[in-house]
Amino acid sequence: MAWSDYMVNIAAPHSRGNAQHWLRYLSKDIDKCGTVFSSKDVENLYNNEALTFFQRITLKAAFTEGSPTRRHIRSLNEKSTLPMMTAIREKARQSSEQIDS
Instruction: Please list the pLDDT of the chain residue by residue as tens digits (101 residues).
Output: 677 788 888 888 989 989 898 988 888 877 766 677 777 888 888 888 889 999 999 988 988 888 898 888 888 877 767 777 788 888 888 888 877 76
Torsions phi, psi of 79, nearest 5? -70, 145
pTM above 0.85, yes or no: no
Number of independent structural domains in the chain: 1
Domain around 36: 3-100
Q: Do 74 and 61 form a contact (C-beta atoms < 8 A)?
A: no
Q: Give residues with Cβ within 8 angstroms of 18, minimum separation 6.
A: none
